[in-house]
Amino acid sequence: MRFRILHESPGRVRLKAVQHSMTMEQADLLEAWILALPGVWQVTVHERLGTMIIRFRGEREALYSGLARFSYERAREEAHVLSAESRCINREYKEKMVFKVVGQFLKRLFIPVPIRRVINTVNSVPRMWLALRTLAQGKLNVEVLDGIAIGTALLTGDFSTAGSVRFLLGLGDTLDAWTHKRSVDDLAKNMSLNVDQVWHLGEEKEPELVPLERIQPGDRIVVHTGHVLPLDGILDEGDVMLNQASLTGESVPVAKHAGAAVYAGSVVEEGNCVIRVTHTAGENRYDRIVRMIEESERLKSGTEKRAYNLADRLVPWCLAGSALTWLLTGDTSRAVSVLMVDFSCALKLSMPLSVLSAMREAGLHKITVKGGKYMEAVSKADTVIFDKTGTLTNACPSVSDVVAFNGQDEKEMLRIGACLEEHFPHSVANAVVRAAMEQGLDHQEMHSEVEYVVAHGIASRIGNDRTVIGSRHFVFEDEGVTVLPEDQAVLDSLSPDRTWLYLAIGGVLSAAIGIHDPLRGEAAETVDLLHKDGIRHVVMLTGDNRNTAAAIAGKLGIDAYQAEVLPEDKAEYIRSMQTEGRSVIMIGDGINDTPALSLADVGVAIGSGAGTAREVADITIAAEDLRELLLLRQLSQKLMERIDRNYRFVMGFNGGLIALGAIGLLPPAVSALLHNASTLLLGLDCLTPLLPHTV
């Protein structure tokens, strides 16, 4: 496909597609394709004009090279497009706005005054009826204020004011709905750009790791313990315990058997299964994210809740002020002017929009946040707790040594280790699998069903022999594995600078696999910056031995550490910190971190870690750079500042409008106009970036 360059500037280019017309589907395909290009962080495609604005980092030539390869057919096969319907939303609400404004203008221009009065009266009935129904339910809210204001204007014969107020209220409702829907949709799309992979079970009966987009309805996928179900489907094989907390709120795992319906977002806590897919990675996935976002709006911060409660409490005072104005002045117009202004609209629009905008801005930095509640907690936290492996260390550790015992062959032991470890999402397991691949070792299934023991290791059977791989504690203490006398000296001489996995077959130690797990380059700087940003306690929790933990803590400047801890120990440590009055952020990446992530005030998962950790966590950050934690904290603090600032503005500005209306300086229509205009402008301000140069 060909494009024409309309304008170029550093990091930004405006193009036009050389074609007669563009459908909304084609615009979505083009947008998804461009977003997938390296360096592109934002793109807007205007389907009616066939133009696009692209913001990017890096070389312009690389962008143009990617665009040169674009075709709609290729994009359908390769691009990840959600049925977000954002273009439908924009078109629908733009048309609504145009019809409302044009209709109001034409009505005033061509319809006689007596007929306009009848139209205004009839069109005002729904708002007055809503006010009556709300009063009948014992509620006093903004709908009651609006209904009383319009009804009072009609009863006094001021049909023009009633019509203008109704028009402005309708325009404000449309703008509110448009802004909210667009914000949710933008955020959902932003949170859905990561492409997952799944184990596809074809006719050859050997699972194959494929991109999620290749899965079609009717395909079968394999899901192992600790993984998240990526798609809706029917349980075809296996009995599992599913954690459905993200969908149903149930805290207890539910047993599922063959034939049961299962849904994307559930986590397999026990067992392995085969799912026959019923929906592809589009509609159901997008809808699930939208539901999560809408749910997240109910996870309001304390500041939001206080503002909401105050807005509701002020409604009776607005009514009382209007009544008092009428009693003192006898001027119905002044009383209606007071009714035209309420605090609820601005507060209840600006607060969720601020949160949605902050979540979207975080998403641009590959940070997924599930609610304003957690951003407030991040802004107030004084303690940060890190897991070590995959968090403070690189996400891709490597195998450095394979030491065979009991006369075994090193390559064979690595092959068996990879065969067992490939089923479970952990950076150490990935290192073993990768080492076997690099050595060209074919590790087809040779064992029975595997059993994953959280934070300990894996157990299975090869032939008649029980085979285990995992930590020293698991292998030697829990499993009671023995070491041949001639192997003891070699075992004792293993380097303490490595993390060791122990493999035992038939109750005898057969191999030790050394994992080199270097610290992240930015880890020490991140710890230092956290201290400077007001975090008083930085702690590391690890299952490693004390010598290794002490050495790492010293290198990074960590305040305290706990070594040789189990998942329940991590959770207990967090509980003790909270008992002391500390607000805790827990950062981890593995299944063994999930109890701690759940218990902390804010659980932060590393994006490359286990699906279970990401599902349980309140916030997920990409794995590229731990300094994103500082950006998250800055965003959270700026969000709380914006919410407080909006609260003060709404109270001051609307309080001024009420006062001016009460003394007769503002007629009702002008009060309504200023109130709605300020609400709209405040909402637009809430959508602006919190941090400068957000990309």
* Structural domains in the chain (count): 5
Q: Say if 142 falls within a structural domain.
A: yes
Q: Say if 692 falls within a structural domain.
A: no
Number of Cβ within a 10 Å radius of residue 72: 16
- Mapped onto helix, strand or coil, the DSSP state of residue 39 is coil
Measured in degrees and rounded to the nearest 5, phi and psi for residue 403 equal -110, 120
Find, among 249, 241, 202, the residue nearest to 224 by Cα. 241
Q: What are the distances in angstroms from CA 228 to CA 250, 301, 568?
A: 16, 28, 22
- Contact 471/443 with Cβ under 8 angstroms? no
- Same domain? For 98 and 115 the reply is yes
- Mapped onto helix, strand or coil, the DSSP state of residue 443 is coil
* Residues spanned by the domain of 412: 398-516
Q: Which two tokens stand for residue 11?
A: 């990091």
Q: Say if 288 falls within a structural domain.
A: no
Half-sphere exposure of 338 (CA within 13 A, CB side): 22
Buried b (16+ CB within 10 A) or exposed e, 566-601: bbebbbbbbeebeeeebbbbbbbbbbbbbbbbbbbb
Q: Say if 292 falls within a structural domain.
A: no
- Contact 617/605 with Cβ under 8 angstroms? yes
Q: What are the distances in angstroms from CA 574 to CA 293, 380, 584, 594, 609?
A: 27, 16, 7, 12, 21
- Same domain? For 367 and 460 the reply is no
Residue 290 confidence (pLDDT) above 60: no
CA dihedral sign of residues 151, 157, 161, 167: positive
pLDDT tens-digit readout, 70-81? 998 888 777 656
The span from the CA of 450 to the CA of 478, in Å, is: 17
Find, among 282, 274, 281, 288, the residue nearest to 199 by Cα. 274
Measured in degrees and rounded to the nearest 5, phi and psi for residue 676 equal -70, -40
Q: Which residue has the higher pLDDT, 358 or 141?
A: 358
Using the 3D structure, point to which of 280, 307, 322 is the last residue of a domain: 280
Q: What is the CATH number of the domain that holds 499?
A: 3.40.1110.10
- Same domain? For 163 and 271 the reply is no
- Contact 516/398 with Cβ under 8 angstroms? yes
Q: Which of 228-232, 282-286, 436-440, 604-608 has the lowest mean pLDDT?
A: 282-286
Q: Say if 317 falls within a structural domain.
A: yes
Q: Say if 632 falls within a structural domain.
A: yes
- Same domain? For 524 and 660 the reply is no
Taking the alpha carbons at both ends of the chain, their separation in whole angstroms is 27
- Same domain? For 563 and 615 the reply is yes
- Same domain? For 404 and 386 the reply is no
What per-residue confidence (pLDDT) applies to 564?
A: 78
Beta bridge partners of residue 537, listed in sequence order: 383
- Same domain? For 402 and 511 the reply is yes
Ordered DSSP codes for 548-607: HHHHHHHHHT-SEEE-S--HHHHHHHHHHHHHTT--EEEEE-SGGGHHHHHHSSEEEEET
User: Position 393: which residue type?
Assistant: T
pLDDT tens-digit readout, 335-390? 877 776 767 667 766 777 788 788 878 877 878 887 778 888 999 999 999 988 77
What per-residue confidence (pLDDT) applies to 611?
A: 61
- Same domain? For 409 and 502 the reply is yes
Q: Which of 277-286, 319-328, 434-443, 536-545 has the lowest mean pLDDT?
A: 277-286
Ordered DSSP codes for 230-245: -S-EEEEE--EEEE-H
Residue 191 confidence (pLDDT) above 60: no
Q: Which residue has the higher pLDDT, 476 or 607?
A: 476
Q: Say if 286 falls within a structural domain.
A: no
Confidence of residue 695 (pLDDT cuts 50, 70, 90): very low
Q: Which residue has the higher pLDDT, 303 or 643?
A: 643
Confidence of residue 450 (pLDDT cuts 50, 70, 90): confident
- Same domain? For 456 and 479 the reply is yes
- Same domain? For 403 and 389 the reply is no
Residue 200 confidence (pLDDT) above 80: yes
Find, among 442, 423, 413, the residue nearest to 505 by Cα. 413
- Same domain? For 446 and 580 the reply is no
Q: Say if 695 falls within a structural domain.
A: no
The span from the CA of 32 to the CA of 38, in Å, is: 12
Using the 3D structure, point to which of 81, 99, 132 is the last residue of a domain: 81
Measured in degrees and rounded to the nearest 5, phi and psi for residue 616 equal -75, -35
pLDDT tens-digit readout, 513-535? 998 878 888 899 999 999 999 99
- Same domain? For 531 and 605 the reply is yes
Beta strands per DSSP E along 607-682 = 619-621
Q: What is the CATH number of the domain that holds 615?
A: 3.40.50.1000
Measured in degrees and rounded to the nearest 5, phi and psi for residue 511 equal -165, 160
Q: What is the CATH number of the domain that holds 24?
A: 3.30.70.100
- Mapped onto helix, strand or coil, the DSSP state of residue 11 is coil
Question: SS3 string of 408-435?
Answer: CCHHHHHHHHHHHHCCCCCHHHHHHHHH
Using the 3D structure, point to which of 516, 547, 575 is the last residue of a domain: 516
The span from the CA of 416 to the CA of 444, in Å, is: 9
Average pLDDT, the chain: 80
Half-sphere exposure of 29 (CA within 13 A, CB side): 16
Find, among 670, 651, 668, 687, the residue nearest to 346 by Cα. 651
Find, among 380, 370, 345, 371, the residue nearest to 646 by Cα. 345
pLDDT tens-digit readout, 536-593? 999 999 877 777 788 888 889 999 998 878 777 888 899 999 999 999 999 987 767 7
